[in-house]
Structure 1
Amino acid sequence: MTAPGSPPAPPVARAARYAGLVGAILLAVAGYLGGALPDAPLGATPVSIWRAPGGPATLACWLIGTALLVGAWWALRAGAPSTLWAYVTVGLWALPLLVAPPLGSRDVYSYACQGWTYAHGVDPYAVPVAAAGCPWLDAVAPIWRDTPAPYGPVFVLLAALAVGLGGGLTGTIVALRVIAVAGLLLGALCLPGLARAAGVPTRRAAWLTLAGPLVGVHLVAGAHNDAVMLGLLLSGLLIVVRRPGRPSALLVAGVLLGLAVTVKASAVVVAPFAALAAVRGRHTVRSLARDGGWLAGGLLAALLVSSALSGLGFGWVGGLTHSGDSEQWTSPPTAVGLVVDYAGAAAGRNPQAVPVLRTVALLVLVGVLVALWWRAWRTLRAFDDVAERTATTRPRVALHGAALALVATVVLSPVFHPWYATWPLALLALTAQRTTWFVLPAAAAAFLALPDGTNLARFTKAPGAVAMTALLLPALLHALRRSRPR
Structure 2
Amino acid sequence: MPRTEVPAADTVTSWRGPLVLGSVGSLLLLIGGLGGAAGAVGDPLMSDGPVSWWRYGHGKMLSTLVVYGGYVLLVLGWVRLGRLVLAGRVGTRPVLLAAACWTVPLLFAPALFTRDVYSYLAQGAIALDGYDPFTVGPTVLTDTEFIENVHPFWQGTPAPYGPLFILLAKGIVAVTGTSITLGVLASKVTNLVGLALLLWALPRLVRHLGGNLPVATWLLIAGPLTVVHLVGGPHNDLIMIGFLAAGTALVLDRRPVAGIAVVTAGVAVKASAAVALPFLVWVWAGRLASTGWRAFLRACAGAVAVFVAVFAAVTVAAGVDLGWVTMVNASSRLVNWLSVPTAAGELLHGVVGGWFGLSRDPFVTVTRAVGTVLLVWVLVRQWWLARDGGVDAVRRAAVALFAVAVLSPTMLPWYLTWGLCLAAAWAWKPRQLAVAVGISAFMVAPYTPDGEQLLYVWGLMIAAVALSVLAAVSLVRPDPLRLSERPVR
Normalising by structure 1, report the TM-score: 0.83
CA contact (8 A) 1:20 1:69 kept: yes
Alignment of 1:54-65 (within 5 A): 54-65=59-70
Q: CA deviation at 1:297?
A: 2.4
Q: CA deviation at 1:292?
A: 4.2
Cα distance between partner residues in 2 of 1:294 and 1:157: 26
Aligned positions of 1:190-269 closer than 5 A: 190-243=201-254, 249-269=255-275
Q: Is the 8 A contact 1:117 1:134 kept in 2?
A: no
Per the alignment, residue 318 of structure 2 pairs with: 310
The runs of at least 4 aligned residues of structure 1 exceeding 6 Å deviation read 461-464
| Kept after mapping to 2: 8 A contact 1:214/1:419 | yes
Contact 1:334 1:354 survives alignment (8 Å): yes
Q: Work out which of the residue numbers 167, 180, 185 in structure 2 matches 1:169.
A: 180
Task: Note the residue ranges of structure 1 that are not aligned, 5 or more in a row.
Answer: 42-48, 244-248, 381-393, 468-486
Q: Shift of residue 118 of structure 1?
A: 0.2
Number of corresponding residues: 436
**Range with greater deviation from structure 2 (262-271 or 339-348):** 339-348
Instruction: Check the 8 A contact 1:323/1:415 in 2, yes or no.
Output: yes
**Residue deviations 1:325-365 (CA, integer Å, cap 9, x gap):** 12111211111112223321322434611122212211211
Does the Cα contact within 8 Å between 2:40 and 2:110 map onto a contact in 1? no
1:96 aligns with 2:105: yes
Instruction: Note the C-alpha offset of 1:316.
Output: 0.2
Alignment of 1:451-466 (within 5 A): 451-460=449-458
Superposed CA offset, 1:3-61 (max 9, x none): 4289x9972533221211111111111101221111289xxxxxxx9992223422322
Code of the aligned partner of 1:426: C
Match of 2:38 among 13, 36, 39: 36
Query: Contact conserved, 1:128 with 1:147, CA < 8 A, in 2?
Result: yes
**What residue identity is the alignment partner of 1:427?**
L
In structure 2, the CA distance between the partners of 1:116 and 1:460, relative to structure 1 (3 Å rule), is farther
Q: Which amino acid aligns with 1:261?
A: V
Q: State the alpha-carbon separation in 1 of the partners of residues 15 and 365 from structure 2.
A: 47
Structure 2 CA distance for aligned equivalents of residues 209 and 153 of structure 1: 27
Q: Which region of structure 1 is more displaced relative to structure 2, 198-207 or 336-345? A: 336-345
State the partner residue of 1:475: none
Partner of 1:274: 280
Q: Secondary structure at the match of 1:377?
A: coil
Q: 2:425 maps to what in 1?
A: 430
Given that residues 15 and 94 in structure 2 are in contact (C-alpha distance below 8 angstroms), is that contact kept between their aligned partners in structure 1? no
In 1: Cα distance, 2:207 partner to 2:12 partner: 25
Residue number in structure 1 paired with 2:477: none
CA distance in structure 2 between the partners assigned to 1:9 and 1:270 by the alignment:
43
Q: 2: CA distance between counterparts of 1:201 and 1:423?
A: 19
The percent of aligned pairs where both chains have the same amino acid is 34
Distance, in Å, in 1 between the alignment partners of 2:55 and 2:234 is 26
Give me the whole-angstrom Cα distance separating, in 1, the residues matched to 2:406 and 2:363. 18
| Contact map agreement 1:230 1:260 (CA 8 A) in 2 | yes
- Change in Cα spacing, 1:432 to 1:301, as seen in structure 2 (3 Å) is farther
> Displacement of 1:445 after TM fit?
0.8
How far 1:289 sits from its partner (Å)?
2.5
Q: Distance in 2 between matches of 1:26 and 1:302?
A: 42
Could you tell me how far 1:95 is from its partner in structure 2?
1.8
Q: Quickly say closer, same or farther: Cα 1:369–1:349, change in 2 above 3 A.
A: same
Structure 1 residue identity aligned to 2:327: G
Matches within 5 A, 1:392-403: 394-395=390-391, 397-403=392-398
Q: Does residue 1:286 correspond to 2:281, yes or no?
A: no
Residues 87, 18 of structure 1: CA spacing in aligned structure 2 closer, same or farther, 3 A cutoff? same
Written as runs of structure 1 = structure 2, the 5 A alignment for 1:80-229 is 81-135=90-144, 136-167=146-177, 168-229=179-240
Q: In the alignment, what sits opposite 1:368?
A: 378
Residues 158-184 of structure 1 deviation map (CA, whole Å, 9 limit, x = unaligned): 000000111222222221111111211
Which letter maps to 2:448?
A: L
Residues of 1 paired with 2:372 and 2:210: CA distance?
Answer: 33
Within 2, Cα distance between the matches of 1:406 and 1:88?
29
Secondary structure of 2:218 counterpart: helix
CA distance in 1, matches of 2:5, 2:327: 44
Q: Where does residue 80 of structure 2 map in the other structure?
A: 75
Shift of 1:300: 2.8
Tell me, what secondary structure is at the counterpart of 1:54?
A: helix
**Which residue of the other structure, out of 19, 23, 27, is the alignment partner of 1:17?**
19
Q: CA deviation at 1:302?
A: 2.3
Contact persistence 1:232–1:257 (CA under 8 A) = yes
CA contact (8 A) 1:251 1:298 kept: yes
